[in-house]
């Protein structure tokens, strides 16, 4: 890739490639099966068929200050154990996707930072996942890493600062996906993508209800393969599952977010799908819908800029 293309490519991704063209799924109770890779020399503490809790140590390994636990991250059953390498857990969880992220799967209790304190000085609890409903800064990520946090869920982040933290061209990092990404010590998920945006209240409320609970976070992002960062909020063992896959069709009554244009970032409800193509702001005939926005106004919007969220 020629020099200088990285930031331009990543910036274009924030408004095009990284958007969900067919809806961002939110599954309240889905059966998931995830593999927990173990550090070298880890001792497994569970066996096949055992029931585990999200906060339960399933393995441990020697660290600088003593033994460090590896938490399950899900409430479910152990399906596979490969000593010294990995174990697989199956359980029911609420599945929520972010827009862009990076980093390997991480497990830890969800916490927020004290309000009114400087990010440069705020104490960080090791092993936690930080919920930050505003735009994240390079300083925040550096402090989280230095303090021993394992992950951050933030609303958004500037492309330049994100690239400075990962020390890599963001477009190359995303195109590499999970297989080619460098090993990163901190997992980051941005719910609203690149730029300067706050977390939508509904997303924040869903996550804030799980403060101090252990959850599963994975940052791998590869839009070309349909891979998105995920947040798994464990449900109690035995919780019945909801139907899958999630319906992402834009239909009357669907809750949607506007992902492009002057209304970008707003949400609303689809009230009508036009049978014939309508003229959009660019003067092109496109399939459109009438959307009742959050402020009570109505707008005719192209269907391809609508992201179904419920």
User: What's the confidence (pLDDT) of residue 247?
Assistant: 60
154, 136 Cβ separation under 8 angstroms: yes
pLDDT of residue 15: 38
Number of other CB atoms surrounding residue 40 within 10 Å:
8
Other beta carbons less than 10 A from residue 62's beta carbon: 13
Q: Using alpha carbons, list the distances in angstroms from residue 260 to 91, 111, 131, 200.
A: 36, 31, 26, 16
How much is the pLDDT for 180?
42
Task: Tell me the C-alpha distance between 244 and 157, whole Å.
Answer: 31
Contact between 281 and 308 under an 8 Å Cβ cutoff? The reply is: no
Q: Do residues 155 and 188 touch, judged by C-beta distance below 8 A? A: no
Q: Looking at the domain covering 255-308, what would its CATH class be?
A: mainly beta
Give pairs for 2-7: CB < 8 Å, separation 24+: 5/171, 6/163, 6/169, 6/170, 6/171, 6/172, 7/159, 7/160, 7/163, 7/170
Provide the residue-wise pLDDT of the chain in tens; the chain has 310 residues. 334 433 333 333 433 445 554 445 567 888 999 999 998 889 999 999 999 999 999 999 998 888 999 999 999 999 999 988 999 999 999 998 888 888 889 999 999 998 877 888 888 999 999 999 999 999 999 999 999 999 999 999 999 999 899 888 877 667 655 444 456 779 999 998 888 889 988 889 999 999 999 999 999 887 777 678 999 999 998 888 876 555 667 889 988 888 777 887 788 999 999 999 998 877 889 999 999 998 899 999 998 888 777 6
pLDDT at 254: 87
């Amino acid at each position: 890739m020629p020099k200088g293309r990285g930031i331009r490519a990543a910036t274009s991704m924030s408004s095009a490639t990284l958007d969900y063209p067919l809806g961002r799924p939110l599954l309240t109770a889905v059966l998931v099966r995830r593999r927990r890779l173990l550090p070298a020399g880890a001792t497994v503490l569970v066996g096949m068929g055992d029931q585990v809790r999200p906060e339960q140590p399933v393995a441990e390994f020697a660290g600088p200050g003593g033994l460090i636990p590896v938490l399950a991250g899900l409430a479910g059953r152990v399906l596979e154990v490969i000593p010294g390498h990995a174990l697989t857990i199956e359980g029911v969880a609420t599945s929520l996707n972010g827009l862009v992220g990076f980093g390997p799967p991480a497990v830890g209790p969800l916490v927020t930072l004290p309000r009114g304190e400087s990010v440069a000085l705020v104490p960080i609890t090791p092993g936690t996942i930080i919920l930050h409903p505003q735009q994240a800064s390079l300083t925040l990520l550096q402090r989280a890493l230095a303090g021993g946090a394992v992950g951050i869920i933030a609303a958004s982040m500037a492309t330049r600062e994100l690239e400075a933290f990962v020390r890599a061209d963001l477009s190359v990092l995303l195109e590499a996906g999970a297989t080619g990404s460098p090993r990163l010590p901190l997992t980051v998920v941005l719910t609203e993508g690149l730029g300067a945006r706050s977390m939508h209240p509904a997303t924040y409320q869903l996550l804030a209800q799980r403060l101090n609970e252990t959850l599963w976070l994975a940052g791998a992002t590869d839009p070309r393969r349909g891979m998105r960062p995920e947040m798994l909020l464990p449900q109690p063992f035995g919780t019945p599952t909801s139907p899958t896959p999630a319906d992402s069709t834009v239909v009357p009554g669907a809750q949607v977010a506007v992902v492009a244009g002057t209304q970008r970032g707003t949400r609303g409800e689809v009230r009508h799908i036009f049978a014939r193509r309508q003229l959009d702001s660019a003067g092109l005939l496109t399939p459109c819908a009438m959307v009742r926005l959050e402020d009570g106004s109505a707008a005719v919007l192209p269907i391809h800029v609508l992201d179904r969220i419920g």
